[in-house]
Chain A
């Protein structure tokens, strides 16, 4: 135990010293982003191209979940329509790159703005709706919007959707550089941008105001917070994240098709953000990982017990339901909350055991 206590003391000293983050908000989160970016880079280089594509998928899920963190976690508005907002981002990306021949970065910026605008309009309607009504309205969006693609096959490619060419890794990376790794890097950068912006928001007054509106609308108005405007703003920011996630989806999959943005996507996003831990960025990370790995496990499981296809194709969704219900019972504050509690528990245990060792002499005297 003394070795562990020693290690903890060293770690705490390190945290007090060189590991301390800058106090200025932007600098602080840029430092964190660089750290996470490095970890992401190292990971992406050491894993197989297949794992790289999973990493890329986790990155765009994370981006979408960050949006739900703002909306549902911070502002208390429930959206079952974020899959549809991702669809807007994805289709806009394909159209801008494929038809208007935009470069990738301007495309992603434009797509974020476009989806944010759509989200703002939606949010303006949503600000008048409460709880189940808002959920219903966003549900209608999740169901209705993908159907729009069928209605205008000339523009949106109907059921088959639209495709774009994959991004090309720069020649300097070598000819054998895996495409999936390059895609993961792009998606990773997008996710980090979303992280920095939302981390700034969480730390500053906007985060406080969002939570105040979520907690008590009447008191929020009394202290001078424009409640409806705040709710629209949360929707706009959240939609911006979803739109960027849709753009990153296209970078990874080279496709925007109705089948990818069904209601099940919206539901799994919601599952991810709740399962990971509502309202924290750490929770969005766990949620994204869950969204990547749960379906893969479900597929393996259904192969293992050789289920008929119509059952096995629905298994991931069923698994989400089970994971969500089980998670809510076992860890109501999600994976992030459970980890935080476990960390606290461990810390208390360790501190207790070390202080017992140190204090054992004194106790002997008593």
Chain B
């Protein structure tokens, strides 16, 4: 048996033998994959293939019927979702999922919340240490907003922003956690080509500093950004490897044949 150090060196996340059923529906079936630190892994597949479900298992929303998720060699079986965030696992939702009544800045501050140090009591008493914590969070969040060119809209409410900006705020909120694993669920959906170009640039900047799992329907984006691609179909992992190899894999082509989503 390999020492655990091997896992740690190999990477951040290991998913082994995951199966998820919803009633009679098999959403995931014995899916195993690894992702190492700094790697960008594309997760593709037709609609309903189980991509979002895979993210849901990794972040703890869905408990697998079988299999396990190992994070740096430790099982996450008993770790509730909110604790996984402080372990360095962040994710965006397939839609936007911002807090509608919080300003953009507050949304991102909420994302950095687990980095605070003062407790509830000092907050209720309004003690200086709570104030210091707040201004630190505000500084962290502002820096992140500046980095993503969102500083001008810091005080706006999310709903008043164009969709592309809302998605960028959601990304800022995930990044401000300083994650080691970032899961992006269709970040380019609904964006125009200019926004997508920005997004590509950003993800390639992130490359190397954190592991990224990218669910994306646009194959050009996947090919450009991903080191490896995993293909799901009806909950099964049917192929995985470098993008070029995946593109010409007959099983993959077959899975996409007849699917409403054009694979090109």
Q: Chain B 51-94 against A: per-residue CB contact (8 Å), 1 yes, 0 no? A: 00000000111000000000000000000111101100011010
Q: Is the CB of B81 within 8 A of A221?
A: yes
Interface centre among A24, A212, A227, A237 (most CB of B within 10 A): A212
- B126 — which chain A residues lie within 8 A by C-beta? 24-26, 28-29, 196, 199-200, 203-204
Binds A, one of B127-135, B186-194, B203-211, B221-229: B127-135
Specify which chain A residues have a CB less than 8 angstroms from the CB of B102 in the assembled complex.
Answer: 208, 211-212, 215
Of chain B, the residue at the smallest CB distance from A23 is B131
- Residue A218 CB within 8 A of the other chain: yes
CB of B98 within 8 A of chain A? yes
Say yes or no for B262: interface residue by CB 8 A criterion.
no
- Residues of A within 8 Å of B120, CB to CB, are 206, 233
In the bound complex, CA of A24 to CA of B133 (Å): 12
Instruction: List chain B residues, Cβ under 8 A from A154.
Output: none
**Within the assembled complex, what's the spacing in Å between the Cα atoms of A25 and B127?**
7
A276 to B189: give the CA distance in the assembly, Å: 42
- Knowing A206-B120, A208-B109, say if A223 contacts B173 (CB, 8 Å): yes
Closest Cβ of chain A to B50, distance in Å, is: 19
Q: Considering only CB atoms and an 8 Å cut-off, how many residues of chain A contact the other chain?
A: 34
Contact A222 B81 (CB under 8 A): yes
List A residues 1-52 near B (Cβ within 8 Å).
Answer: 23-26, 28-29
Docked complex: A161-214 residues within 8 A CB-CB of B: 196-197, 199-201, 203-206, 208-209, 211-212, 214
Residues A227 and B82 in contact in the complex (CB < 8 Å), given A24-B128, A26-B127, A219-B98: yes
Rounded to whole Å, the gap between the CB of B43 and the closest CB of chain A is 18
Closest to A28 in B: B126
Residues of chain B with a CB closer than 8 A to A212's CB: 99, 102, 110
B114 proximal to A (CB < 8 A): yes
Report how far A7 CA is from B106 CA in the complex, Å.
35
- Interface 0/1 of B9-27, CB less than 8 Å to A: 0000000000000000000
A218 lies within 8 A of B123 (CB): no
In the bound complex, CA of A25 to CA of B126 (Å): 5
Looking across the interface, which residue of chain A has its beta carbon closest to that of B84? Answer: A224
Number of A-B contacts (CB under 8 A): 114
In whole angstroms, what is the CA distance A26 to B131 when docked? 9
Residues of A contacting B110 in the complex (Cβ-Cβ under 8 angstroms): 208-209, 212, 220, 223, 225
On chain A, the residues within 8 Å of B214 by CB distance are none
What is the interface of chain B mostly: helix, strand, loop, or mixed?
helix
Contacts of A196 in B (CB 8 A): 126
Q: What's the Cα separation between A24 and B134 when bound, in Å?
A: 11
Encode contact with A along B102-142: 1 for CB under 8 Å, 0 otherwise: 10001001110110100010011111101101100100000
| B230 touches A (CB below 8 Å) | no
Is B97 an interface residue, CB under 8 A from the partner?
yes
Q: Which of A29, A204, A225, A226 contacts B134 (CB 8 A)?
A: A204
Task: Tell me, rounded to whole Å, the shortest Cβ–Cβ distance linking A175 to chain B.
Answer: 39
A205 near B82 with CB under 8 A, answer no
Bound together, the chains give a CA A206 to CA B123 distance in angstroms of 7
Central interface residue in A28, A204, A206, A225, by most chain B CB within 10 Å = A204
- B133 adjacent to A224 (CB under 8 Å): no
> Does B101 lie at the interface of the complex (its beta carbon under 8 Å from any beta carbon of A)?
yes
The answer to whether the Cβ of A216 comes within 8 Å of any Cβ in the partner chain is: yes
Check B98 against A205 for contact (C-beta < 8 Å). no
Q: A25-B131, A204-B134, A205-B133 are in contact. Are A223 and B123 (CB under 8 A)?
A: no
Chain A residues with CB under 8 Å of B231's CB are none
Residue of A25, A203, A209, A211 with most partner-chain B CB within 10 A: A25
Q: How far is the CA of A244 from the CA of B184 in the complex (A)?
A: 47
A211 to B131, CA, bound (A): 19
Q: Judge whether B123 and A219 touch: CB under 8 Å.
A: no
The 8 closest A-B pairs by CB, nearest first: A224-B85, A25-B126, A26-B126, A200-B126, A224-B114, A215-B99, A221-B81, A219-B97
Between A and B, 23 residue pairs with Cβ closer than 8 Å are A23-B131, A24-B128, A26-B127, A26-B128, A200-B123, A204-B134, A205-B116, A205-B137, A208-B102, A209-B110, A211-B102, A212-B110, A215-B100, A218-B93, A219-B93, A221-B85, A222-B81, A224-B86, A224-B113, A224-B114, A224-B177, A225-B110, A226-B82
Q: Could you tell me which A residues sit within 8 Å of B by CB distance?
A: 23-26, 28-29, 196-197, 199-201, 203-206, 208-209, 211-212, 214-216, 218-227, 233, 237
